[in-house]
A and B are shown apart, each in its own frame.
Chain A
Amino acid sequence: MVKFVAKDLNIWFGQVRALKNVDIEIKANEILSIIGPSNSGKTSFLRMLNRLNDLSPGFRMGGWLGFDGEDIRKIDICGLRKRVGMVFALPLPLPLSIFENVAYGVKMHGERRRPKVCALVEHSLKQAYLWDEVKDRLDVSAFKLSGGQQQRLCIARTLAVEPEVILFDEPCSGLDPISTSKVEEAMLKLKKDYTIVLVTNNVKQAARVGDRTAFFLSGELVELDSTEKIFTNPADRRTDGYIRGEFG
């Protein structure tokens, strides 16, 4: 099953063209890794999928982007963002307690019954492998957690609204190797139930967790193939050069 389809997708921020004629399909229950140097358009592409680019001044799009076969511009934006969750590059807890962070999205979508909210918070924290570390101090400020814990809290917060797709925007860029492996472990377990799109600066991370890998360069999709193919026998020599660290 296909979750997202982009056909001839172009986007601009003012005069700057951030994506050029991108054609891509994202399948359900896969982890698609997107690699590429900075300014290659990979984060801009990711932020198309939950329409977060709409917040940027001067944003325009051309072409077609569909989610479950529907034009993404025609779907109710709050409903879309509920179904397509996002984890940001830096751990960004809201200035609330641990519990309230995870419960925030749930409450915004109208769930007021306390037992239901508590159950969702516990389930989400368990899915993000954070429950055992925080279960005794749920009412403590989220800023008291370590960076790695904060990032897993952000994952739990995204899971709590029960999305279908989770977008990860360089989720481990600020984390140490042990925290990184915990986040990666969580991602691999989540694949069963969710579609995951992972933007990463870390080529090795793409190799470790991605089913398929896409390589972006200067706003163009250079190559998209199975992770194994991309890392052993890429079709484009620019992909080969990037993976071997010749530029970045």
Chain B
Amino acid sequence: MSNTQRSQKIAFFFLFLATLLILVPVGLIVVVIVQKGLPAINWQFLSDIPRQGMRAGGIFPAIIGTFYLVFGAILFALPIGLLAAIYLSEYAGNNPLNRIIKLAIVNLAGVPSVVYGLFGLALFVVFLRFGASILSGSLTLGIMILPIIITTAREALESVPQSFREVSLSLGASKWQTIRHIVLPNAIPGILTGTILGLGRAAGETAPILFTVAAFYLPRLPKSIFDQVMALPYHLYVISTQVPNVEEKIRYGTALVLLSLVLFMNLVAIIIRYNFRKRKKW
């Protein structure tokens, strides 16, 4: 065997090993959670309120709470993020100020989520007097995922070929018409990818909702956006560390429901994205 072939084999082996090393933990997490959590899943668990100090009953209020929070965060962050991305990619010139703005947005994505939590507490709960509420929590989560949505949407807009813009403008279409009819429709798959990432992050974070919305124990459904709610990640934290003698299968069952909820919401976005990609024709 020649030297070249041997080094190729070695390189191939390490590349394969690295890929395997990523897959194994992910697979194990899913297997463990499904194995330990599945026995807890039944209709009562999904539809009932928590009972006996959260040691029995269901987690329905937390499911609904997480759903509301994620929905509210997207409702707030997607339009604002998209408009900001359009401004940054289509209108803002390439000057130092705009480069700093873009850099700042990318860096905001790396700010620890507990910092967003404190910020939400100061701004929404205290200063704007929204109290600990769905509104405060959604806005805080929305601000947390804004950088992800802006960055991915901007990349999606910028990846639409410049030639399409030139053709549209050369036909006498205005800049806004060009964005509206040519750039935006072709950027939708990429924008949805950003939304998927933001969605998963908003559903799973505990710290931003800790001070702004999450209730320790609240066995009823919210009546307005100014109510507190339970949320799955915080509930999981509570029954794992704050309440003694919770059965293991309830904890893993809650984790399984959270995982499934995120996967389900991602799946919806992925299906929408797939349908748009099919229409992409270049």
Contact = CB atoms under 8 A, between A and B. Distances in A.
B125 to A, nearest CB: 45
Contacts of A85: 170-171
A57 B171 contact: no
B281 A104 contact: no
Given A57-B94, A95-B280, A78 B167 contact: no
Interface in B171-229: 171-174, 177, 181-182, 185-186
Interface string A150-161: 000010011001
Interface stretch (A7-15, A34-42, A86-94, A237-245): A86-94
Could you say which of B166, B167, B186, B280 has the most chain A C-beta atoms within 10 Å of its C-beta?
Answer: B167
A104 B164 contact: no
A190 B56 CA distance: 82
Given A108-B181, A141-B281, A88 B171 contact: no
Contacts of B171: 81-82, 85, 104-105, 108, 157-158, 161
Interface string A19-56: 00000000000000000000000000000001010010
Given A95-B186, A108-B181, A141-B281, A161 B172 contact: yes
Contacts of A109: 172
A52 B170 contact: yes
B104 interface: no
A104 B167 CA distance: 10
Contacts of B83: none
5 contacts: A81-B169, A88-B166, A88-B167, A94-B164, A105-B171
Contacts of B177: 108
Nearest to B171: A105
Contacts of B167: 88, 92, 94, 154
Nearest to A157: B171
B contact residues, range? 20 to 34
Contact of A50 (B164, B170, B173): B170
Given A79-B172, A82-B171, A141-B281, 18 more contacts: A52-B166, A52-B170, A78-B173, A81-B170, A81-B171, A85-B170, A88-B163, A90-B163, A92-B163, A94-B164, A94-B168, A94-B182, A95-B280, A108-B172, A108-B173, A108-B177, A109-B172, A158-B171
Interface in B134-190: 163-174, 177, 181-182, 185-186
A143 interface: yes
Contacts of B182: 94-95
B127 interface: no
Contacts of A78: 172-174
B104 to A, nearest CB: 23
Nearest to B169: A81
A183 to B, nearest CB: 17
A97 B170 CA distance: 19
A79 B167 CA distance: 15
Nearest to B172: A82
Contacts of B163: 88, 90, 92
B282 interface: yes
Nearest to A81: B172
A161 B169 CA distance: 12
Contact of A55 (B164, B166, B280): B166
Contacts of A104: 168, 171, 173, 181
Contacts of B166: 52, 55, 88, 92
Contacts of A92: 163-164, 166-167
B218 to A, nearest CB: 50
A78 B185 CA distance: 22
B280 to A, nearest CB: 7
Nearest to B177: A108
B282 A95 contact: yes
Nearest to A158: B171
B172 A55 contact: no
Contacts of A94: 164, 167-168, 182
Interface in B96-115: none
Nearest to B279: A95
Interface string A94-107: 11000000001100
Contacts of A95: 164, 182, 185-186, 280-282
Contacts of A81: 169-172
Contacts of B169: 52, 55, 81
Contacts of B173: 78, 104-105, 108
A16 B164 CA distance: 26
Contacts of B174: 78, 108
Nearest to A57: B94
A157 B177 CA distance: 17
Interface in A122-149: 141-143
Contacts of A90: 163
A78 B171 CA distance: 8
